[in-house]
Amino acid sequence: MGVKTETFLLLSLLIVGGGHSTPVTWSDRVEALQEHGQVGQPSASGPYETSWELVNVSGLVSGSYHDAWVIYPSGTEASDKTFPLLSFAHGKDAGGTALKPSYTTILEAAASFGFVIIAPRSCPEHYCTNFYKDQLQCITAAKEGLASTGLESVDWSKSVGIFGHSMGGAATMISAGKDGYDIAAAFFLHPYYTVHAEDIKVPAVHGTGSSDQICPAEEVKNGFDANPFYPKVFAEIEGATHLEPNSSGGRNKHRWDAYVPRLFMCHLNGDSDACDLIYGSTSDSLCYTDIEMTDCEVSVGGAGDRNDGT
C-alpha cells in the first residue's frame, strides 16, 4: 500500500502502523488531478485575527535577549477560547529585533488557525548550538505561568508542537528527541544540520527546497532517512531557496504557510482533514498540491516501527 490510498486507509495506517515509504511522482500528481479535479492549495489564512506580545523569559542560555514574542489568536472570534501552544526557533542571524520582520508571515499564518506561539529572541546572531534549550525553556516557562495575555489562552490539556527554520530547524530536531515537554509533532524548515535525527520521537515534516544552497536538500533528506519515527514526510519544493519561510527576501513564495499549521491541527487537535492535507492524496495534500515538488515522500512506517499511536 503506497501513498495514494483513500484517506481513511491512510489514517488507519497512522493509527496501527503498516505501509511503507513511497515517493510521489509527477504521474501520481497527474492522476490525482484527474481523480479529484483541479489541483490547488489549502488556505494559509485561518479564522482568527492575531496579536503580538513581548514577554520576559528567564533561563534562556543563548545570549543577548532574555525574552520571546508571543503570537496568539485575538479579536472577537478568539474571545473565551483556548488554544494549543507551539514553540518556534528562528534561523541564524534572525533573532533579536530581526525575528518579527523575518517571520511575520509564517507565524501569523500559524497563529490564525488557533495556536499560541512562543518564539525566543535569544541568539540574535551567529550559530548557537544550545538554542534548542531556549525553545524548550519557553515551553517550560509558559507552563509555569509567564505574565502574558496571549499565554493565558493556552490549552494545557493538549500537547505542544515545535517548529523552526535553519538553525532553528536544527534546534527543533534536537528538541523533537527530548522527553518531558509533551511534544506531539515537529516541522523542520530547511534545517541547518540534521544531527540527532535518529533521536526524533514525534511525527515530523522535513521541508526543504531544490535551490537551497545554504542547507542543501540532500542533507535534509539524509535527516529524513535517519528519522526512525513514523509518520514522517519529506518535501522538497522545486525552486525554493533557503529563505522560503521568511517574510521577505529571495524567491520565497510562502509555500509552507498553509501546511505548518495543518501538521499541528492533525496531531494536537486530532483534525482528520488536516491529517489528510499532510499525509493524504487529495488534490490539495502536501505531496499532490500544485506546488511543484522536486521530491515528496510520505512514510507511515511498518509493523514494529515507532509510531505516534494516535
Q: What confidence tens digit (pLDDT) does each residue in 197-228 have?
A: 999 999 999 999 999 999 999 999 999 999 99
- Give me the mean pLDDT over the 69-86 stretch: 97
3 pLDDT above the threshold of 70: no
pLDDT tens digits along 235-270: 999 999 999 999 875 566 899 999 999 999 999 999
Higher pLDDT, 42 or 304: 42
What is each CA distance from 256 to 131, 140, 142, 201, 234, in whole angstroms? 23, 27, 26, 22, 13
- Give the rounded percent of residues in the chain with a pLDDT score beyond 90: 77
Per-residue pLDDT at 5 exceeds 80:
no
d(CA 167, CA 199): 18
**What pLDDT is stored for residue 225 in this prediction?**
96
Tell me how far CA of residue 94 lies from CA of 11, 132, 297, in angstroms.
37, 15, 29
Query: Considering the chain, what is the average pLDDT of its residues?
Result: 88
**Cα radius of gyration rounded to whole Å, the chain:** 18
pLDDT exceeds cutoff 70 at 298 = yes
pLDDT of residue 301: 78
The whole-number average pLDDT for the span 139-156 is 96
Write down the pLDDT at residue 198. Answer: 97
CB atoms within 10 A of CB 292: 14
Residue 304 confidence (pLDDT) above 50: no
Q: Summarize the chain as % helix, strand, coil (round to 5).
A: 30, 20, 45
Q: CA-to-CA distance for 11 and 55, rounded, in angstroms?
A: 39
Using CA atoms, how far apart are residues 144 and 216, in angstroms rounded to an integer?
38
**pLDDT at residue number 53:** 98
Rounded to whole angstroms, how far apart are CA atoms 270 and 260? 15
Give residue 251's pLDDT. 60
How many beta carbons lie within 10 A of that of residue 15, not counting itself?
A: 12
Tell me the pTM.
Answer: 0.89
Question: Where are the alpha helices (H) located in 116-166, listed in sequence order?
Answer: 131-144
The pLDDT value recorded for residue 41 is 85
* Cα separation, 41 vs 136, whole angstroms: 32
The pLDDT, as a whole number, for residue 11 is 44
Beta strands in the chain (DSSP E): 21-23, 49-56, 67-74, 85-89, 116-120, 160-165, 183-189, 204-209, 229-230, 232-237, 293-299, 306-307
Q: Is 81 exposed, middle or buried (0-12, 13-18, 19+ CB in 10 A)?
A: exposed
